[in-house]
Structures are given as C-alpha cells and as structure tokens.
Amino acid sequence: MRILLVFCLAVGALEAQARSAPALSAGPHGAWNVVPALPGMGRAIEAEATAARRQALLARIGRGVVLIPAAHERDLETEYVQDNDFRQHNTFFYFTELEVKDAWLLMSVRGPDSTDVVLFLPPRNPTPEQWTGVRLGPDSTAARRTGIATVLPLDSLDRRLRMAQVRTRGPVYVPLDVSTKDERRLTDLAFLGRDVRNLRPIVDSMRLVKDAAEQARLRMAVDISVLGHLAAMRAAHPGIFEYEIEAAFEGEVRRQGADRLGYPSIVGSGPNGTTLHYDTNRRRAQDGELVVVDAAAEYGQYTADITRTWPVNGKFTSRQRAIYNLVLATQQAAFDAVRPGVKLMTLDSISRVYMREHSGSVCGPSTCDTFYIHGLGHWIGMDVHDVGDYTTPLAPGMVFTLEPGIYLPEEALGVRIEDDVLVTPTGALWLSAGAPRTIDDVERVMREARAARR
C-alpha cells in the first residue's frame, strides 16, 4: 500500500512537472519532419482525425451536400502584403489539415452508409512553382497523404457538384464568412435558387471540443509560447525597449518551431500596460515599471494565448504586489470552479465577485473589479478568440483562457495574468503553468537571469 502510494506520488509529481514546464530539448521544441510532397509547412496530416471530423459532420447533417473552399494564393506583386505568409482557411483545414491553395472539398451524404468525399486540386504547373514552390497535384500522392480516396482535378468540380446535388436532394452547406464572401462558386449557388445554408454554425460548434490531435497541437503552441515568455522575462532590464522584449519572445518561439504568431505581440510597459491591446511596442521601459506581455505562438494552425506581467527590474514594489496578488487569486478562484457543466459566464461572475470581495482598500474607494474592464476569458483554438457559442456548458476537451486584470491608468499600472486551461472529465488542467506566475517564481527567474548575465 505504502509503495503504491509512493509510486502514485512520484508519478503524480512527474506528471505535474511535465505539465508545468515544457521539456528542455537540444533541438526546437516543436520540431517536426517535413513531408516533402506536401506544400505549405509540409506537416504530416493526421488522416484518422480529419476523417473522423468529416464523418461527424456528415452524420450531423444527415442528408445534403457540403462544399468548402481552401484559401487562395496572395499576390505579392499586386497586393504588396507585408508578410507573404499563406494561412489556410480554418474550416477547410479542420476537415483536411492541408495547407494547399485554391483547392475545394466536396462532401455529400444521403444516409448513414452513403457518404462521398472528394478533394479537388488544381493541376501542377511548373511556371508558378518556380516562383512559389512545389504544389500538391491531383494524383495518388495526394490521396495517400490526405487519406481522401478520391482526388480530382479542379476543372471537374462543377460537374461533380451538379451530380451530387441531383443525387442527394438535400441542402447545400457552404461556409459563409468574410473569407468566402467573394467566392463566385458559392454566391452563384445561392443565386441559382438552391437551398443554400451556412455551414459555419455547425462546424463552429464542432470546433468547441478539441479532439486529441487538436489538443496535441494546442499544447505544443502553449509549450512553445511558455519558452517565449521565459526568454522575454530573462531579457528584461530597466531601459529595455518594448520591441526588444517583443524580439526576445518572437525570436525564441520561432527558434522553437512556431509557425507564426497567434496574434500581434502586446508588450506594454508602464502606462502602455493599461491599454488592453497595445501592440506598438516602441516605448522604453523605465526602472520600477511593470510590463504586460500578452504574446503567443501558433503551431500547426492552433494558437496559445498567454499574458505575463512582471517588473522590468525584476522586483515587485509592495503596491505592484498587492494588485498582482489580487489578480492572481482571482484567476485561481475562477480556475477552482472549472468543471464540466459550468458556463464561462458563470466563471466570469465568480471572478468578479471574488475580486470585489477581496479588494479591501487596494483600489481606493472603489472595489478593484471596477478596473477589471474586460471579460474573464474566451475559447482558443485555430483562432485566438476561437469560434463557438459562449452559452455552451463546459465539456471535456474545451480549451479557454482565464485572464483577469486590473488597469489603473492614473498610476500607469496594469496587471493581466492569462493562462490556457483544458477542461477534463473532473475539472481542469493549467496548460501554461510553465510560464512563471507567482511573484516568487517570476522574481526567481528574473534574478537567475540577471546573475547569469554578470
């Protein structure tokens, strides 16, 4: 019995350690083997997971046709985009994990045992490939890599679509959103008088619960972001520019294998820490100030969302401590209430009540919740503010942020602490706990970094 207990404690401690800090490895944390046949990031496709998502969608629809476009190539010559990054549409990615341009996915369902899935790809063309790289063509490689048995050239799409509508006689579901509003093929369907319905509400509700493959990607995004926050804290010193902190974060996450940022990095020192989405990042941080760093990496199309607030000189003042510890305890109170069945808005209320009741005189005549001027949190996933209905009760596999804050512009003092949390069958897991959160941990990391610099 005793041995079992010791064993359980040891395993528990190891698990806690594994959860609280990403393992240090010689190479990039998020390294993966590129699949040369695949364009874009060349990342392997989790064919079982995408097939299960397609089946789940078709089962939910019961009868009908689904048509989903991929994103298109951006034209560097005419659009003058500042980054030349291609990012797939999330709806297309969810069902394919493919980073191809100009593709289409056509699915139809006539009953539980009668489904049809076809991927359409443009033919390969050596001239554009010379400029922008190899593409996946409509051939057996594509079928093998994607797990979609039928892959056809794009010019056969309209004929197959007409055939599918004749055979299926159900509605046509298409994603109607800002990324698809100019898709002629979709708007034409509506003008032809078809029963066209928006696919997004169905897909968005599916995306609320992350499957195992999605959770693995999210965890990697979080772990890489944690390393970025550690690098940012370690770089700090009075007089550092906000963009140097930004560079420390972004350099580290790219080194660790991040595909891109989840959103523009927010590095607000002193007064800028009270502007919620300040991302100009040009000010010089002064001795004695706090810095709010809200930054995260994207990995495999999934993004983390983490904020840490720390003193640029590595030591909190007693005033900063009082505010910080109230935000921290508020976040903990919300976390302690997370379990399946609870709603995010209930957690939001719990956090506000906690802050109000524990404010004392810290925020003067008002209670501190007056200065907690945004919501407690939001879903994360392929979007940093991910899709999904906020009235949905929590269920295992949902992932969201807990990010209370207090903002006091008159004191040039802002504190936000933001962590990513996974709902489990019995409660919740902190995913981002590896980024120092308590005052002791923050000060220790910064002290050690200072000592190492000397």
Q: Minimum CB separation from ligand GLY for residue 386, in Å?
A: 11
| Closer by beta carbon to ligand GLY, 250 or else 305 | 305
Q: Does 418 bind ligand GLY (CB under 6 A)?
A: yes
Q: Residue 346's CB: how many other CB atoms inside 10 A? A: 16
The structure tokens listed for 410 are 């008159």
The whole-angstrom separation of Cα 336 and Cα 171 is: 44
**Between 367 and 396, how does the x/- string for binding to ligand GLY read (CB under 6 A)?**
-----------------x------------
Q: Minimum CB separation from Mn ion for residue 263, in Å?
A: 7
Q: Residue 391's CB: how many other CB atoms inside 10 A? A: 8
421, 401 Cβ separation under 8 angstroms: yes
Size of the site for Mn ion (CB under 5 A): 5
Q: Residue 294's CB: how many other CB atoms inside 10 A? A: 25
| Closer by beta carbon to ligand GLY, 136 or else 384 | 384
Q: Which does 432 bind (CB under 5 to 8 A by kind): ligand GLY, Mn ion, none?
A: none
Q: Minimum CB separation from ligand GLY for residue 227, in Å?
A: 18
The whole-angstrom separation of Cα 236 and Cα 240 is: 7
327, 416 Cβ separation under 8 angstroms: yes
**Between 235 and 274, how does the x/- string for binding to ligand GLY read (CB under 6 A)?**
----------------------------x-----------
| Closer by beta carbon to ligand GLY, 294 or else 369 | 294
**Between 283 and 312, how does the x/- string for binding to Mn ion read (CB under 5 A)?**
-----------x----------x-x-----
For tokens 């050690």, name the residue: 448
Q: Minimum CB separation from Mn ion for residue 420, in Å?
A: 9
**Sign (positive or negative) of CA dihedral 303, 305, 311, 314:** negative
Task: List Cα–Cα distances, 299 to 40, 45, 422, in angstroms.
Answer: 13, 14, 17
Q: Minimum CB separation from Mn ion for residue 358, in Å?
A: 23
Contact partners, residue 69, CB within 8 Å, separation at least 6: 89, 92, 103, 104, 175, 180, 183, 185, 186
| Residue in 246, 250, 298, 305 binding ligand GLY, rule: CB under 6 A | 305
With 0-12 / 13-18 / 19 or more C-beta atoms within 10 angstroms meaning exposed / middle / buried, residue 266 is buried
| Residue in 168, 281, 401, 432 binding Mn ion, rule: CB under 5 A | 401
Q: Does 278 bind ligand GLY (CB under 6 A)?
A: no
Applying CB under 5 A, the residues found at the interface with Mn ion are 294, 305, 307, 401, 418
